[in-house]
Amino acid sequence: MEIQIFTSEGTYNHSFIKFFETNFKLNNQLFVFRCKPEGVYKYSDELKKRILYINNSIKFVFFLFHKLIKADKIYIHYFPVGPSLYLWYFSKFLLKKTTWILWGGDLYYYKYRPKTIQSDVYEFIRRSIFKKIPRIACFIKGDYELVKKNYNSKANYVYIVYPIPIDFNYIDSLQVQLDTKIITILLGNSSDPSNEHIAVINSIKKFKDFNIKIICPLSYGGEGEYVKLVEEYGRNIFGNKFIALKDFILPEEYAKIIKGIDVALFQHQRQQGLGSILSLLYIGAKVFIREEITSFETLSQMGLKLFPIEKINELDYNSFIHLDKETKLTNKKVISREFSNENYIKIWKNLFEIK
């Protein structure tokens, strides 16, 4: 038996499981969500038999531990911080058959964790655990290198990339009425404060008198007070040009929004929002992210053209919005090649066949 553990249900994990069902055998799989069913994601009857929801650490230990012992392989999609760390700490024999599928937030806890005794204990445990994990799978190799550097890991690197929930063929098929006189700007990908919404708004407020529209997704990831703060701040500067998206959006609806974006701004201080970034590059948007983060280097090495968000203060309006046709075409070609379903199958098959 192989066990795949997910911290939450979510759009990416749902898309991954559907992808797995279509392209791999289900007969020896158990998919574990460490949450309650969200109710918005649909699965086939065959998949439902192989999905287990466990929404607290005590149940995680008592309901899953004996299955983990019997499992041939364990895949952890995002390594959560919390009491369940003790299970792995006191059962290190499980780690030798475990692959950590790294997301980003699970790595960068060391950098952004609260300065408390509890977080010190968790970080101590993480250091002990991560040294014992034999394989780390992720898209951004720079994140793997940070694990090696910060946790003295000797793990092998395996390249993987999650299937992007937005279907590129679907994007191409969309007939969206675009007002070419208005430049539509996407600000961030969630309400998480790591988007640094206020700082980004300040960097582009010099363009407030131009014919622009700002779309700001605020439907998940942050607290209500922060969402309110960002919306009020944006509206105070841009008025009705600032549109906050506060309701949950299905991938199909989000694709329609993506199709109409001209410029996208992501000021995360770590690798984040890759699905949105790749989709935006595919449709020809001009994408700004921090030059210092690991994803900027990886995507640039693939042949994709991104722009450093730190330099916006130096740009006039025309330089800010302009992206030549050749660059748009190159970005689309690279995305189509690297993030095709055929390539996804090849990449994940490589991981699953490792003994």
51, two tokens:
């999905």
Q: Closest by alpha carbon to 18, among 58, 53, 48, 60? A: 48
Q: Going from the N-terminus, what domains does the chain have, and what CATH number goes with each?
A: 2-164+342-352 (3.40.50.2000), 168-337 (3.40.50.2000)
Average pLDDT over residues 133-138: 96
Three-state SS for the chain is CEEEEECCCCHHHHHHHHHHHHHCCCCCEEEEECCCCCCCCCCCHHHHCCEEECCCHHHHHHHHHHHHHHCCEEEEECCCCCCCHHHHHHCHHHHHHEEEECCCCCCCHHHHCCCCHHHHHHHHHHHHHHCCCCEEEECCHHHHHHHHHHHCCCCEEEECCCCCCCCHHHHHHCCCCCCCCCEEEEECCCCCHHHCHHHHHHHHHHHCCCCEEEEEECCCCCCHHHHHHHHHHHHHHHHHHEEEECCCCCHHHHHHHHHCCCEEECCCCCCCCHHHHHHHHHHCCEEEECCCCHHHHHHHHCCCCCEEHHHHHHCCHHHHHCCCHHHHHHHHHHHHHHCCHHHHHHHHHHHHCCC
Given pLDDT bands bounded at 50, 70 and 90, which one contains residue 237? very high
Cβ 200 vs Cβ 187: under 8 Å: yes
Q: Provide the pLDDT for residue 215.
A: 94
Global pTM exceeds 0.85: no
Terminal Cα-to-Cα distance of the chain (whole angstroms): 13
CA–CA separation, 289 and 277 (whole Å)? 9
Q: Provide the pLDDT for residue 178.
A: 66
User: 155-170 pLDDT, tens per residue?
Assistant: 999 999 998 877 788 8
Q: Provide the pLDDT for residue 193.
A: 83
User: 321-342 pLDDT, tens per residue?
Assistant: 999 999 999 999 999 988 889 9
**Residue 66 above 80 pLDDT?**
yes
Q: 221 in the Ramachandran plot: left (φ > 0), alpha (ψ -120 to 50) or beta?
A: left
User: 169-204 pLDDT, tens per residue?
Assistant: 888 888 776 667 899 999 988 888 888 899 999 999
